[in-house]
Amino acid sequence: MPLIFITGGVRSGKSHFAEQMAMHYYQAQSSTANRLIYLASGIALDEEMQQRILRHQADRQAQPIEWQTMEAPYAIADALAIYQADDIVLWDCVTTWLTNAFYEGFESGTPCLAQPGCVDHKLTRVKQAIEALLKRGVTLLVVSNELFDEPSYASYEVELYRQTLGQFHQWFVAIAREAYEIHYGIVKKWK
């Protein structure tokens, strides 16, 4: 089944676009589609993020189709492993998950970022889970943020994050059937 990759600037309309596309796939497969699933990676660490999460939830609840929501801020590979053939899964979003992956373990004193091979291991597990998911016949829509129009940062961590995200985006686009970029509500289909 297909992987559809959707990226764009913050608050560009990419989540709304992805939700509409996921519902379209679900309705088109109404006789065979199992579930319409929203796989959320966000953690409400501050008031702004709490409001964004609530807004996304309200948007989905206002739709005529019932979404099942699964929270997976860290163990995204494990979450991807449970989906079945003909499920439609929308993962929102890669950048939030990657931030979580970088700093998982911070509370105990050693974030993943500071552990040799930890981030690479997490990325490998997610890639393997996605490849297995697609072989099982799951349609996967992946949302991410575009962070590459900004100038370089002096921070090693920020630059490593951007480099890692850029490589992950390239991998997604390489295996995707369709790839979109959204800015200011305008959709550009790249693939």
Q: Where are the domains of the chain?
A: 3-189
Residue 33, pLDDT score = 63
Give the domain 3-189 fold: Rossmann fold (3.40.50)
State the catalytic residue, choosing from 24, 56, 121, 169. Answer: 56
Alpha-carbon 125 to chain mean position: 15
Q: Tell me the pLDDT tens digit for each residue of 115-141.
A: 999 999 999 999 999 999 999 999 999
What are the CB-based long-range contacts (under 8 Å, 24+) for 115-119?
119/164
The reply, when asked if residue 185 is annotated as ligand binding, is: no
CB 91 within 8 A of CB 145: no
Comparison of pLDDT for 51 and 168, the residue scoring more: 168
Q: Tell me the pLDDT tens digit for each residue of 31-48.
A: 666 889 999 887 756 666
Q: Tell me the pLDDT tens digit for each residue of 6-16.
A: 999 888 889 98
Residue 45, pLDDT score = 63
Task: Tell me whether residue 121 is one of the annotated catalytic residues.
Answer: no
Comparison of pLDDT for 146 and 147, the residue scoring more: 146
* Three-class SS state of 109: coil
The reply, when asked if residue 105 is annotated as ligand binding, is: no
The 68-71 sheet, strands edge to edge: 68-71, 36-40, 88-92, 139-145, 3-8, 178-183, 186-189
Q: Tell me the pLDDT tens digit for each residue of 68-80.
A: 888 888 999 999 9
Comparison of pLDDT for 7 and 151, the residue scoring more: 7
Residue 95, pLDDT score = 93
The reply, when asked if residue 15 is annotated as ligand binding, is: yes
